Amino acid sequence: MSKIIRIGTRDSELALWQAKTVQKQLEFLGHKTQLVPVKSTGDLVLNKPLYELGITGIFTRTLDIAMLNNEIDIAVHSLKDVPTILPKGIVQAAVLKRGKFSDLLVFKNNEEFLAQKNGIIATGSLRRKAQWLNRYPTHTVVDLRGNVNTRLQKLNDNDWNGAIFATAGVERIGLKPEDAIILNWMVPAPGQGAVMITALEENTELREVLKELNHEETEMCVATERKFLNLLEGGCTAPIGALAYIKKEEIHFKGVLLSKDGTKKIEVSGSKKPEHYLTLAEECAEKVLKKGGNRLMDDLKLERQETNIYSTKTLTETQKHLFQNGIVSDSSDFIKIKLNRIPKNRIKQEIENVIITSKNAVEALLASFSPDELQFKNIYCVGRRTKRLIEERIGPVKHTARNAKKLAEYLVEYIEGTEATFFCSDIRLDDLPTLLSENKINLTEIVAYETELSSTKINENIEGVMFFSPSTVQSFLLKNKADKIAFCIGETTATEAKQNFKDVRVAKLPTVESVIELVNEHYT
């Protein structure tokens, strides 16, 4: 191939290590490559809803979307993070030779706590937690999330006895501590230690190239593990372990399903000739179900029915399907919008500079005037989606910014003339008008719509709330306590939340999808 192969990867240290490993192998074979770190989903430009395409995995979703949008040619994943059913149009193109599949206990001081009653272990994995509590039922398991560096630092900073990691992960980036032991008794996650490369199904030429990187023995073993996982209908919310390996011309398998607290455990094992690897997975899954796995899986499904995230804006079905397994969301509109009838005499003639900071203002304009009556020379707006609506319904946008303050800073430098018309809400932030006034730009404000606070009392057990404007924060506090995690769409909303909430998180991009991604990261 003469074309440069664009390698999509997440931007964590481990993900980049994996992507660079693939890059080296491709370049050794004579192919030109380019690494493309993908940070966030942003606006999802797809012809079909994500759930129709089967896009589900929190760690893989961003790369799936980038591939379907033709921004990358291949994606490199930790195989254990890849859902067992890939999105339509995307296929597994290769699996690299597997690294170490074991789990690793990193401990502080010494290992004596293993024989003691009150040990404290940290992990964000339900599988590891359940297996640890099954073996050490009197210990306490605390939640631990973040990348490898962050988790090691948290272990150092807290009064814990140890934390559990994937051996391959810490070794690949050179961070394996001396105070660590392999947990040979713990059954790993399906696919742990392996790297998967995905590509578009239609790209047959590229898939032929990637076959040269495929390790058939690893491919067979992880396929067995993932088939077992798929048949048990498991995912991130089910403590399932699976391991297949080839020895003496046979494929051997062991699997485990546990309750979340580790009090219930179902184990299976078996072996067959390698060519019957899928039959082996099916037989082992059937054994688990016959041993009580059906009831245990039903219990696990019921456990995750309780709502743990609330959105202060009604979510669409597509948006609801973006949450990873284990997150149950509910939503309602905490602010209601009333579009004002804008008098004809307010825009009798062509307006040179128009400022629009929300889609609600666009809707108000279109409710009062036909597109032909809206003769605006220069339109400035906030947000890509607002821009998209304006250009579809009214006309071209001269400049768009992430927030009102950024737009004001741009206008101070580049606005044509010294006057502008701002179509706004009755509740609006002072940043833009104040900055323009300070720089001698005359601003005519037209209240295009009114905002009404419409608070709802939510269940006290809900862990986090998604906020999309300062007004949604204000509305929420009318009937609820500020004792949740506040997941905010932007810095302005976060500033409002910080006046009352202790734990405030800010999305990477000012979109609903990015806030959902922020929620998913918390539960990963």
Domain containing 491 — which CATH number?
3.40.50.10090
CATH of the domain at 202: 3.40.190.10
Q: Which residue has the higher pLDDT, 524 or 498?
A: 498
* Digit-coded pLDDT (tens) for 296-341: 887 777 666 677 899 999 998 888 888 887 788 899 999 998 999 9
pLDDT value, residue 2: 61
Pair 356, 448 in one domain: yes
Residue 77 reports pLDDT greater than 60: yes
Residue 55 reports pLDDT greater than 50: no
Pair 342, 429 in one domain: yes
5 has which bridge partners? 33
pLDDT value, residue 295: 86
pLDDT value, residue 45: 44
* Digit-coded pLDDT (tens) for 181-196: 999 999 999 999 999 9
Pair 80, 199 in one domain: yes
**Helix/strand/coil (H, E, C) string of 148-169?**
HHHHHHHHHHCCCCEEEEEHHH
Pair 18, 162 in one domain: no
pLDDT band at 40 (very low <50, low <70, confident <90, very high): low
Q: Which residue has the higher pLDDT, 378 or 325?
A: 378
Pair 350, 360 in one domain: yes
* Digit-coded pLDDT (tens) for 242-293: 999 999 999 999 999 999 899 999 999 999 999 999 999 999 999 999 999 9
Alpha carbon 428 to chain centroid distance? 31
Pair 294, 367 in one domain: no
**Helix/strand/coil (H, E, C) string of 267-325?**
EEEEEECHHHHHHHHHHHHHHHHHHHHHHHHHHHHHHCCCCCEEECCCCCHHHHCCCCC
Identify the active-site residue in 64, 81, 426, 483: 81
Which residues form the domain of 316? 309-334+456-523
251 has which bridge partners? 246, 272
pLDDT band at 41 (very low <50, low <70, confident <90, very high): very low
Pair 315, 460 in one domain: yes
**Mean pLDDT across 458-487:** 94
* Active-site annotation holds for 81: yes
State pTM to two decimals: 0.61
pLDDT band at 4 (very low <50, low <70, confident <90, very high): very high
Phi and psi angles of residue 49, each rounded to the nearest 5 degrees, phi first: -60, 150
CATH of the domain at 276: 3.30.160.40
Pair 26, 163 in one domain: no
pLDDT value, residue 109: 82
**Mean pLDDT across 466-488:** 95
Least confident range of 78-82, 163-167, 272-276, 486-490: 78-82
* Digit-coded pLDDT (tens) for 85-131: 898 999 999 999 999 999 999 998 888 899 888 999 999 888 999 99
Q: Which residue has the higher pLDDT, 41 or 436?
A: 436
Least confident range of 60-64, 380-384, 464-468, 482-486: 60-64
The helices-and-strands tally (H runs, E runs) of the chain is: 18, 24
**Mean pLDDT across 505-524:** 89
Average pLDDT, the chain: 90
Residue 137 reports pLDDT greater than 70: yes
pLDDT value, residue 262: 94
pLDDT value, residue 516: 93
Q: How many CA atoms lie within 13 A of 403 on its CB side?
A: 17
pLDDT value, residue 42: 38
Pair 243, 152 in one domain: no
Q: Which of 183, 201, 230 corresponds to the end of one domain?
A: 183
Q: Domains in the chain: how many in total? A: 5
Residue 489's CB is within 10 A of a number of other CB atoms, namely 22
Pair 449, 462 in one domain: no
Pair 209, 155 in one domain: no
Q: Which of 401, 429, 453 corresponds to the end of one domain?
A: 453
- With H, G, I as helix, E, B as strand and everything else as coil, classify residue 194: coil
Least confident range of 56-70, 189-203, 332-346: 56-70
Residue 234 reports pLDDT greater than 90: no
Pair 348, 442 in one domain: yes
pLDDT band at 437 (very low <50, low <70, confident <90, very high): very high
Residue 56 reports pLDDT greater than 90: no
Q: Which of 282, 303, 324 corresponds to the end of one domain?
A: 303
pLDDT value, residue 46: 47
